[in-house]
Structures are given as structure tokens and as C-alpha cells.
Structure 1
Amino acid sequence: MNGEPLEETDSFTYLGSTINKHGGTAEDVKARIQKARVAFIMLRKIWRAKQIKTNTKLRIFNSNVKAVLLYGSETWRSTQKTLTF
């Protein structure tokens, strides 16, 4: 581009999703699971708080952890490999 060579990569992250040259979704699913784990751990104080009702905790989980996990999932291919994660 403009006389500069472009670097070729096997995978990259675009808008939070991992894209690879093989078109698979396994890497993206693994990355999303890890990001959801981090989101869950960051809310550790909320999960342990006795003064917060379970219903409120579920709403926080659904809006924060699940949202991180499922972002971009509508583009994932369902394969046997991704179903076993």
C-alpha cells in the first residue's frame, strides 16, 4: 500500500472477534470464553456480597458476563469442535 509491503498474518482481532485465514471460529470461541471468565472474576465482590439479592446478581451476570461471552456469536459456525468447549 503506497509502496509499502503489507504484513501477512495467520490471525488478527477485528472489532473484538478473532479472525484467521482458515475461516474457523474455534479461536474466537476460546477467546470469548476467556474474556467472559475475566468479566466474571472482575465482579467477584458482587458475587460474594450478602446484601445483594440473587435476582440482582443474575441480572448483572446476564448483562455483563453473558454479553461479553456471546458478542459476535451469531457469526460463529457450529462445528463439533466448538460445541465441545
Structure 2
Amino acid sequence: MEQGGLQVNMSTTEGMVSSRTGREEMNLRSGDGRRNQQITEFKYLGSVFTAKGGTEKAVRQRVKEVWKKWKDVTGVVLDKKSPLKLKTKVYKTVLRPVLIYGEETWALRRKEANLLERTEMRMIR
């Protein structure tokens, strides 16, 4: 990058290696010999990525967020006088998008898919 006229600020730059074990070492050094800081997880566009490559942490974070939003809309969703059509619309337009936000970047395993299904079914009940 330096040949192209770009400089990387090594004091603010972090790197992560994704592998099954999560123990791979990164050997990236600056021109003056300083080593780049290696991290085990980072947040990107609301999703948490880990060095082991799983998405369990990201899915659990989305589940927490949707339950927070659930508390905001319980007045409508749990009101017995509200029509079912309104409750369904609130679920589809408010709650479901919060639950699946960022799913395009997830590589779901069966465990995470089950967690999402359980959360959805608890809300629908």
C-alpha cells in the first residue's frame, strides 16, 4: 500500500483471522516493525463476527434486540381488544425486521436457526 502512496495507521488498525479453532496468528507488521493488534471479535453493520467463524453471538444479539422492541409494542400486541390483523401487521413490520437484521452476513448452523425459530414462535404465541 505504501508503494501506492497510502499509509495505514497501525495504532488504530486491528485485524482478525477467522478459522475453526480461532487460534490462528496474524503476522502483519508495519514498515517500522510494529505488529498489528489481533482481535477475536468485531462488530460490523450490527453483526458480531468472531475468530471461530460462528454467528451464534450475532444471533443472540439480535434476539436480545427483538425482545427489547417487544417490550415497546406489548401494549398493542397483548391488548385483547386489538384486532388480530393489527397485531400481525405490527409483528411483520416492527418485530421481524429487528430479528433478522443483518442475516445476509450470517452463516447459520442448525443451532442458530433453532434459536431464531424458538424466538419467533414465542412471540407469535
* TM tier relative to shorter chain: 0.7 to 0.9
More helix by share: 1
- TM-score, normalised via structure 1 length: 0.79
Report whether the alignment pairs 1:36 with 2:66: yes
Gaps of 5+ in 2: 1-7, 14-36, 116-125
Q: Which residue of 1 aligns with 2:9?
A: 2
1:77 to 107, 121, 124: 107
- TM-score, normalised via structure 2 length: 0.57
Higher RCO, 1 vs 2 (CA within 8 Å, ≥6 residues apart): 1
Amino acid at match of 1:37: W
Cα distance between partner residues in 2 of 1:9 and 1:40: 33
- Aligned CA RMSD, in angstroms, stands at 2.0
Sequence identity of aligned pairs in percent?
Answer: 25
Q: Which residue of 2 aligns with 1:57?
A: 87
Aligned residues: 85
Gaps of 5+ in 1: none
> Segments of 4+ in structure 1 off by > 4 A?
none
Q: Which residue of 1 aligns with 2:96?
A: 66
Shift of 1:80: 3.0
Q: Alpha carbons of 1:49 and 1:5: their partners in 2 closer, same or farther (altered >3 Å)?
A: closer
Deviates more, 1:35-44 or 1:8-17: 8-17
Q: Which residue of 2 aligns with 1:18?
A: 48
